[in-house]
Amino acid sequence: DSGVTQTPKHLITATGQRVTLRCSPRSGDLSVYWYQQSLDQGLQFLIQYYNGEERAKGNILERFSAQQFPDLHSELNLSSLELGDSALYFCASSTRTSGVETQYFGPGTRLLVL
């Protein structure tokens, strides 16, 4: 168990809908990262937050947005969903181990868009 929690585990929805994925980082970790894992694209970085502020953006679509709240949990909002958004969405949080920032992943949310 990495200590990162994600809810829900599974989500089934229809095209055009909006969903919210939730992540709680490990205790004490200030950074939260969101990744998308699909069969054709692999594991891709979406966005990073550090202590409530956006720090880095990857290949995140304009239909997707995220935020990190004062209690450090984060939410990833996916709107106007398309079939191609079906994927595993992982959250990770990071801590410094022996001087190196290492990321620990949650169990993921499996999203199926029908």
Partner 1 sequence: QKEVEQDPGPLSVPEGAIVSLNCTYSNSAFQYFMWYRQYSRKGPELLMYTYSSGNKEDGRFTAQVDKSSKYISLFIRDSQPSDSATYLCAMREMDSSYKLIFGSGTRLLVRP
Does 28 bind partner 1 (CB under 8 A)? Our answer is: no
- For 85, residues 6+ apart whose C-beta sits below 8 A from its C-beta are 78, 111, 113
Of the residues 19, 29, 31, 87, which one makes contact with partner 1 according to CB under 8 A: 31
**Which of residues 7, 20, 51, 55 is near partner 1 by CB under 8 A?**
55
Record the tokens describing residue 9, joined without a space: 């585990």
Is the CB of 31 or the CB of 68 nearer to partner 1?
31
- Helix, strand, coil percentages (3-state) for the chain, rounded to 5, are 5, 60, 40
Q: Which residue has the tokens 């959250």?
A: 91
Contact set with partner 1 (CB under 8 A):
2, 4, 31, 33, 42-45, 48, 55-56, 58, 90, 94, 100-108, 110
